[in-house]
Structure formats: structure tokens, C-alpha cells
A and B are shown apart, each in its own frame.
Chain A
């Protein structure tokens, strides 16, 4: 009997680990498709062109492809760059205690990470810290960030 219980526990352990949600390398942000639409304004709206111009690049325009990136082979190395950039800036240290949500979004020649503060239970976070980090899609070099 004791052996059977032990076997059951051994079997249960991997099962429990499987049900525990593993971090998605492409982010757990709610409503990524909505975020893709909402943040497109910085890449298509002419009245917001100055933002990217300030980073030394041009808007890709409304016809450029855009997508929510869900390929871990793209997201894993990219998020490594993002975390390094956030770590250098000091923002990651501020975000870590509460955690943050992110999504990887592609706009034309740019790969971006939307990083937003996760609300603490019981609070109403009317406006959490939100940063859109913009990288060059091919070289993964950092272009600049928009803080909303």
C-alpha cells in the first residue's frame, strides 16, 4: 500500500508540474490583438511621426505588415534583449516586485515589446507603467522606447 502511494505521488508530481503554467516566452499580456491595434498609432498616424523620427527612423506607414509574434524561437532571444535593456535602464528593478506582463508585436521593420506593470490585487491601477520598446527587426538593435 505504502509503495502504491509513493508511485501515485511520483506520477502526480510531473502531472502537477505540467498543469502549472509555464511562462510564455512571447508574453502573457491580455488581449495582444487589441494591443497590436491600439499601439499601431505610433507607426501609422502622421501626427505621431515625430516620435519615431526622434529615434532616427521613419514610420513604416499603414500598409506595413503588423502581427502579434507567438514564435518562441523569435521571442526568446528577443526578450533577452528586452530584459537587458530594461535592466540597464533601471525599470526592471522597479517592475520586478509586482511583475509585469508583456507581448511581442511586430510593425513593419520593427520588433517591439510592450511591457506593462501588473496591477496589485485590491488596487485600481488607473494607469500602470507601460513602455513600448522598439528594436530593429533584423539586427535586434535597440531603437528607442515610448512610455505611455
Chain B
């Protein structure tokens, strides 16, 4: 195959350029200088995934004579970050390029590059977006990429020689997990700042800790202050089985000029699991107790006379109790959220 540079000027159309890059990179011929980027800052080309040739998904590596490719598929609408986390190599010219959904040369000579380095791609990119990488080693050996992990964190290990230790360059790709897979109709839940606040409450509940005693209910006030919405966590010590805003806290928040819009708390315990017997859950030290699901009687009771809605966050859903909800009133349909992906 003839050199791309010898056949077409660089001033060609973007799509043609990208396709040519792809074709060259995936050919059986040594890539050589075919995808050498101009000197200076790495080019950032905001190409969408669908403007590039699609490559097989699912992390299956493709190895050509020298250049290797690998891809990951985003299962949900999301942004993502790529982090260069480790290296153990000496070759000059180990080049790593992100080719989809954005074209960007990440490292021109990875063995000499500082780490860690992080590249952030906010997107959000739609579900099904392919995140694709090319690796062209600076050695004369074929490059290879190994993909491990799964949503939301993958590890890409690059091999530039024949020892197959797959530690020459190591990257992680982390999908930012949106709180909801689709924008909720509830305007308060649709607010990005509120979603971040609810995500923080969830994350701070230690929801993935296998020991239920280490999972804490976290609550907070959803407020608007100076035109900005935020979630102010409840003060006091979080506990595994209760969530309380201490005396005077509500009044202090209101006195600060904040308008209360609602309140929320988490249910981080997995439905049907055993209540810990170490006394952390309200003193319980006997087996035979099981976590139920919400909203609980107590969640409903607190709504009597409440002018604000309450949100209860569990592993998969967000429940809303309307202002002045009474115990036993019909419940709203919960809103599905992305499960543990923090």
C-alpha cells in the first residue's frame, strides 16, 4: 500500500482523512509514518463515532502487523475519562491514539511520557458509543492491547514486544455514570446539580460495601441558594438504619437564605439481605432480621404536613413522596436510575 501522505494532501476533507487513517492503521502493512500527526500539540478532532468506520465491539483486540486496536462500548449515555496509569517500557515512539468517539493522539511516545495523565471527554455520548484505541509500538514487534474490566471501569494494557507481560502501557477508561439513564420528568430530579448531590449521598453511603454494617443512610436537604440548586447533607453521624436532620439544622439552612425544595435520603441496604448483628443497626444483635425496601412507614409518616417532596434513593430507583403524603396513600411510580456505577 502506498503511503497516504504520498497520495493525498493533508488538506483533504476531514472524513476522508479519518477513514484513510483508519484504513492505514488497520492494514497489514507497517503503519510507519502514515498516522504521524503534525508536530506540536496533539490534534483534537471532534469527530463523532458514526463518522468513523466502526470496529468490532466488546473489547476484542485486533492486531495487525504492528498496529493494534481495541474498543469498548458504552452501555449508557455517558462521558468518560481516560487515564494513563502505569508504564514499564523503554521503546521510543509507542503511540496511543483515541480514534472514537473523538480523535486524539494521547501519547506520542508513551514510554517517555509522565503518568498519571488524564483526558476527560464529557460528551455525553449516547449508549452504544464505541470508544476505540489504536496502539502503534515504537518497537519492530507487533503491538497488542488487552481489555479487562467492565462498565464503568475498564483497563487497557498495551504490549509492545514479545514478552506478553501486558504492562508496557496501562490505561483505565472510566465511564461517568449518569444518575438516571433517561432524563426524569420530575423537574427537581432533572436538575443536574441535584443529581450530583443525590449521587454524592449515594456514594457516601458506601453502597458497595459487602458488610451491611458499613453502609450508612445519608440524607440531605435539596435547596436553592443564590440561584443555584444543591443538596446539603444532613449534619450528625450517619447510621446504618436511620437518617436524621438534627435539631435546628433546617432553620439554620433557611436562615442562610436557602429555599428548601425537598429532602432525600438513601436506602443503601440490599433488599432481602440480613440485618447486621453487631449492634450497628439500632442495637440489633440477633439474626432473623431482613432488610425490606422503601419507602418505609417512617418515610411516609414524616411527610404528613411536609410542604416539600421527599426522595428515597435505593440501589435501582428513586422514590418520590409528594408533599403532605399520608401513610398508605398510593405511591408514585419510582424512577429508574443507573445501578451502582459510582
Which residues of the partner chain A approach B281 to less than 8 Å between Cβ atoms?
A: 129, 147
B243, B275, B292: the one contacting A51 at CB < 8 Å is B292
B265, B290, B302: the one contacting A147 at CB < 8 Å is B290
Q: A11-19, A32-40, A69-77: which one contacts chain B? A: A32-40
For residue A83, CB closer than 8 A to chain B, the reply is no
Q: Give bound CA distance, A88 to B148, whole Å.
A: 48
For residue A3, CB closer than 8 A to chain B, the reply is no
For residue A146, CB closer than 8 A to chain B, the reply is yes
Q: Report whether B292 and A42 are in contact in the complex, using a CB–CB cutoff of 8 Å.
A: yes
Q: Report whether A88 and B272 are in contact in the complex, using a CB–CB cutoff of 8 Å.
A: no
Main secondary structure of the interface of B (DSSP, over half): loop
Q: Give bound CA distance, A137 to B292, whole Å.
A: 21
A38, A88, A145: the one contacting B300 at CB < 8 Å is A38
Which residues of the partner chain A approach B282 to less than 8 Å between Cβ atoms?
A: 91, 94-95, 117, 129, 131
Count residues of chain A with CB under 8 A from any CB of chain B.
46
Q: B100-108, B137-145, B321-329: which one contacts chain A? A: B321-329
Q: Report whether B298 and A116 are in contact in the complex, using a CB–CB cutoff of 8 Å.
A: yes
**CB within 8 Å for A116 and B288 given contacts A123-B247, A129-B241:** no
Nearest chain B CB to A46's CB is how many angstroms away?
Answer: 14
Which residues of the partner chain B approach A114 to less than 8 Å between Cβ atoms?
A: 297
Nearest A residue to B263, CB-CB: A126
**CB within 8 Å for A126 and B310 given contacts A48-B293, A54-B272, A147-B275:** yes
**Chain B positions 290-307 with a Cβ under 8 Å from a chain A Cβ:** 290-294, 296-302, 304
A30, A92, A94, A132: the one contacting B304 at CB < 8 Å is A30
For residue B120, CB closer than 8 A to chain A, the reply is no
Instruction: Please report the number of residue pairs spanning A and B whose Cβ atoms sit closer than 8 angstroms.
Output: 151
Which residues of the partner chain A approach B291 to less than 8 Å between Cβ atoms?
A: 146-148
**CB within 8 Å for A117 and B242 given contacts A91-B284, A147-B289, A148-B298:** yes
Nearest chain A CB to B246's CB is how many angstroms away?
Answer: 6
Count residues of chain B with CB under 8 A from any CB of chain A.
48
B267, B285, B288, B293: the one contacting A142 at CB < 8 Å is B288
For residue B283, CB closer than 8 A to chain A, the reply is yes
For residue B279, CB closer than 8 A to chain A, the reply is yes
Which residues of the partner chain A approach B298 to less than 8 Å between Cβ atoms?
A: 116-117, 125, 127-130, 148
Nearest chain B CB to A53's CB is how many angstroms away?
Answer: 9
Nearest chain A CB to B288's CB is how many angstroms away?
Answer: 5
Q: Give bound CA distance, A119 to B316, whole Å.
A: 28
Nearest B residue to A52, CB-CB: B290
Nearest chain A CB to B215's CB is how many angstroms away?
Answer: 13
Contact with B along A65-107 (1 / 0, CB 8 A): 0000000000000000000000011111111000000000000
Nearest A residue to B242, CB-CB: A129
Q: Report whether A126 and B299 are in contact in the complex, using a CB–CB cutoff of 8 Å.
A: yes
Q: Report whether B290 and A120 are in contact in the complex, using a CB–CB cutoff of 8 Å.
A: no
**Chain B positions 261-289 with a Cβ under 8 Å from a chain A Cβ:** 263-265, 267, 271-272, 275, 279, 281-286, 288-289
For residue A122, CB closer than 8 A to chain B, the reply is yes
**Interface CB pairs A-B, < 8 A, 23:** A30-B327, A31-B327, A34-B326, A35-B297, A37-B327, A38-B327, A91-B283, A94-B283, A114-B297, A116-B297, A117-B242, A124-B244, A125-B244, A126-B244, A126-B245, A127-B219, A127-B244, A127-B265, A129-B282, A131-B289, A146-B291, A147-B291, A148-B292
Of all A-B residue pairs in the complex, the 4 with the closest CB atoms, nearest first, are A34-B328, A148-B296, A34-B327, A94-B283
With A126-B263, A145-B290, A147-B241 known, 10 other A-B pairs at CB within 8 A are A31-B326, A34-B327, A50-B272, A90-B279, A91-B283, A120-B247, A126-B219, A126-B302, A127-B219, A129-B241
B contacts, CB < 8 Å to A: 217, 219, 234, 241-250, 263-265, 267, 271-272, 275, 279, 281-286, 288-294, 296-302, 304, 310, 312, 326-329
A contacts, CB < 8 Å to B: 30-31, 33-39, 42, 48, 50-51, 54-55, 88-95, 114, 116-117, 119-132, 142, 144-148
